[in-house]
A and B are shown apart, each in its own frame.
Chain A
Amino acid sequence: MGIISSKLGNLGVVTTTLEDAVNWARTGAMWPLLFGLACCAIEMMSTQASDYDLSRFGMELNRASPRQSDLIIVAGRVTRKMAPVLRQLYDQMASPKWVISMGDCASCGGVYNNYAIVQGVDEIIPVDVYVAGCPPRPEQLIHGIMTLQEKVKGERWADWIHG
């Protein structure tokens, strides 16, 4: 947790930098938006449920409302009909917000290279972490979430000011 030093023995005072504290709070309880589209959604549900539990990362529940969530895990293929909906949801989320693009279809169009699928959800919203797989195993998704947590821990003043 950055620079920690405890003073005065058992009084339990910890000092650290503001950035580290804020980032620690952000990574500790990032609430994902319930946005499962296709097969990757089932693996996301498996990750959420028993055996690979996402509540240990603070993601106990998925919030149904974009206004209450910080993280959107785009799980599944995004079609051209669904793209405006995704953009609207992303716009409704309040900063700070992060995006994990889960699976091949969300990252690059996946198996489907045709008229109906957006070739990579980064054409519509900016993505922080790409998780590959078709569908990615729960361990892969957890690795993606932990990578995102590393990224958030590395954020500094300058990033906050510039949005």
Chain B
Amino acid sequence: MNIPQALDPVATAREALDAIILDSSTFRNETTLIINPLDIVTVTRFLRDTNGLVYNYLSDISAVDYFPELRGPNGEGRFAVSYHLYSMLYNRRIRIKAFLPEENPSLPTVSVVWQAAEWLEREIIDMMGITFEDHPDPRRLLMPEDWDGHPHRRDYPLGYESIMFSFNKNEINKHKPYAKE
């Protein structure tokens, strides 16, 4: 069976998509392409359907919160969403990263390309507060429906109870609810 020659993803993507690829980097043998969030569907479709690239498996979608810093090619991104793709044919991985601002962070959904993205994006909607346009089911996933806030953001408190020692035991017990019956 004729398997087409594997192409260099960065060079091919830059050639075909030109201005859409803002930057690329390599760290510990992992390639990262940085793009504008609005182009995510174009880029992922391109990477999946081009002969020689065939990144056909979506491994992970992760979101990072850089609070209180701002990162990104234009220096205004508080959040970044990383898509990890894997090519089973050529056995290699690539990461696509998009930076989002603090105000109304949103980008198109990739669930039209892979159905696996539905729940991965739903978790990010729930935990980071990033919206995905045209998502089929944008309800909260892990937290209860009436929860306020987005727990994985860096400015959301961990919400821990202070550790009970003998000196603050009475203090804590005053506020801690105990079920009597």
Contacts and interface: CB of A to CB of B under 8 A. Distances in A.
Nearest to B140: A81
Contact of A115 (B158, B176, B177, B178): B158
Contacts of A119: 161, 176
Given A81-B143, A109-B161, A115-B151, 19 more contacts: A113-B160, A113-B161, A114-B159, A114-B160, A115-B156, A115-B159, A116-B143, A116-B151, A122-B178, A123-B176, A123-B177, A123-B178, A123-B179, A124-B179, A125-B179, A126-B178, A126-B180, A126-B181, A163-B181
A80 interface: yes
Interface of A: 80-81, 109, 113-116, 119, 122-126, 163
B158 A114 contact: yes
Contacts of B163: 113
Contacts of B156: 115
Nearest to B176: A123
Given A81-B143, A81-B144, A126 B161 contact: no
B157 interface: yes
Interface string B155-179: 0111111010000000000001111
Interface string B136-163: 0000000110000001000011111101
Contacts of A126: 178-181
Nearest to A126: B179
A123 B180 CA distance: 9
A80 B145 CA distance: 12
A130 B179 CA distance: 15
Given A123-B176, A124-B179, A80 B144 contact: yes
Interface in B55-103: none
A52 B56 CA distance: 48
10 contacts: A113-B158, A113-B160, A114-B158, A114-B159, A114-B160, A115-B157, A116-B151, A119-B161, A126-B178, A126-B179
Nearest to B145: A81
Contacts of B159: 114-116
Nearest to B157: A115
3 smallest beta-carbon distances between A and B, as pairs: A115-B159, A113-B160, A81-B144
Contacts of B158: 113-115
Contacts of B161: 109, 113, 119
Contact of A122 (B144, B151, B157, B179): B179
A126 B179 CA distance: 5
Nearest to A125: B179
Contacts of A80: 144
